[in-house]
Amino acid sequence: MKPVVSERGRRMPSSPIRKLMPLAEAARRRGVRVYPLNIGQPDLETPPAMRRHLAEAPAVFAYSPSAGTPECLATLQEYYRRIGIALSTDDIIATTGGSEAVLFAMMAGAGEGDDVLLVEPFYTNYQAFATMAGLRLVALPTRAEDGFHLPPREAWERALTSRTRMVLLCNPNNPTGTVYTAEELQVAADFCRDRGLFLVADEVYRELVFDGRKHVSALSLAGFEENVVVVDSLSKRYSACGIRLGCLVTRNRDLYGACFRMAQGRLSPPGLAQLVALGASELGPDYVLGLVAEYQARRDILYEALRDIPGVLMRKPEGAFYFVARLPIEDAEDFAAWMLSDFSLDGATVLVSPAPGFYATPGLGRNEVRIAYVLRKEHLETAVRVLARGLAAYREARGMGPVATATATTSGL
């Protein structure tokens, strides 16, 4: 008899971000250059100060302590000290990317069949982790018109169920690029404290806040030590996605203990990555300033060009390196596929992520796409030109005609 995979295995969603890859591959085989605006894989160099540490690789690639080497934990502690957050190394567990930290937080903070409250659109892999952990995501909608900012307290209260165990916030937000203000964060934190919930804050894009904004870490909120769990990562901050190092931070001893035991179960975080991480303390403040300036300049190129396209609705993104834009189309999946299979301009096309995969509520995001600006400026300029021409050509091909002038501006957003 053939063995069958579990219900959980069957329910595991496939990545909506990667769904269009075969069409992109086919376009490349036809000789079309595909600009990837779909995934958050930065093109910047991992800082040499970090790469240099690979030369210290020992003769034996041994397991490290389960929470990370003392040196790696001290480096992470020093990183937080520099951004004004005092932690003990016993508050930090090094993980295999921020991804493992999300999974640990979910599995330790909620049980089979429990609810995780979050806002949509959200980072699609939260759905994958929730499925692995047997949790249900309960999503509160946020809207482009409000810059995808957080809902008021009443909305959180209305969404509460007897099974809600945590609120999961991504700040700065992937996919919307929204940076939450101290006030809205406080509302969410108060709600968590009053209702006995964990506040899991995914801050992997912490540094990437633009136009002089200040990021407020959930770890800096006084009086929420028992509620707050932070998910962090070196992937985006140091353009080091492939080394697979992140961490989970919490001052809640019980939650730390549960996550630590999970960490023991999987033995140790990646050893080479922990060596590379040591180089982070050698980077001066200029490193982050340069990083922010680069992404802000890229954001500006895309924003300026996109808001000139008739019918495109978006707010100026505040952080991270993504945004969600509403396009003058009806079906973003069809549009994204068509761009790869039917369109090119001067031998080039673009790959964007259809937004429905970032929503839990069926039907939402149908005319939206997520765009990541992880390409250098000259490529972005070309990519946005291709996108604009592609949009017009797509509307014509689908018999939609030019965008009516009444909906042809970004005004009001």
Ligand X SMILES: Cc1ncc(COP(=O)(O)O)c(C=O)c1O
Site residues (vs ligand X, CB under 6 A)? 40, 97-99, 123, 170, 174, 202, 204, 233, 235, 241, 246
> Measured from the CB of residue 139, what is the shortest distance to ligand X in angstroms?
15
Q: Residue 42 or 151: which CB sits closer to ligand X?
A: 42
Closest CA to 132 of 111, 169, 103: 103
Closest CA to 221 of 195, 263, 243, 189: 189
Q: Residue 271 or 328: which CB sits closer to ligand X?
A: 271
Give dist(CA 319, CA 173) in Å, integer.
Answer: 7
Closest CA to 197 of 136, 232, 156: 156
How distant is the alpha carbon of residue 270 from its chain centre?
Answer: 21
Partners of 137 in the β-ladder:
116
The CB-nearest residue to ligand X is: 97
How distant is the alpha carbon of residue 35 from its chain centre?
Answer: 20
Q: Residue 64 or 235: which CB sits closer to ligand X?
A: 235
> Measured from the CB of residue 269, what is the shortest distance to ligand X in angstroms?
11
> Measured from the CB of residue 178, what is the shortest distance to ligand X in angstroms?
12
Give dist(CA 37, CA 158) in Å, integer.
Answer: 36
> Measured from the CB of residue 153, what is the shortest distance to ligand X in angstroms?
24
Q: Residue 36 or 246: which CB sits closer to ligand X?
A: 246
Give dist(CA 284, CA 292) in Å, integer.
Answer: 14
> Measured from the CB of residue 175, what is the shortest distance to ligand X in angstroms?
8
Closest CA to 221 of 77, 78, 80, 85: 85
Q: Residue 202 or 391: which CB sits closer to ligand X?
A: 202
Q: Residue 237 or 251: which CB sits closer to ligand X?
A: 237
> Measured from the CB of residue 229, what is the shortest distance to ligand X in angstroms?
13
Q: Residue 176 or 349: which CB sits closer to ligand X?
A: 176
Partners of 413 in the β-ladder:
none
Neighbours of 144 (CB within 10 A): 18
> Measured from the CB of residue 242, what is the shortest distance to ligand X in angstroms?
9
Q: What are phi and psi of 146, to 5 degrees?
A: -100, 15
Q: Residue 278 or 312: which CB sits closer to ligand X?
A: 278
> Measured from the CB of residue 398, what is the shortest distance to ligand X in angstroms?
31
Longest dimension (CA), the chain: 67
Give dist(CA 310, CA 374) in Å, integer.
Answer: 24
Give dist(CA 13, CA 240) in Å, integer.
Answer: 26
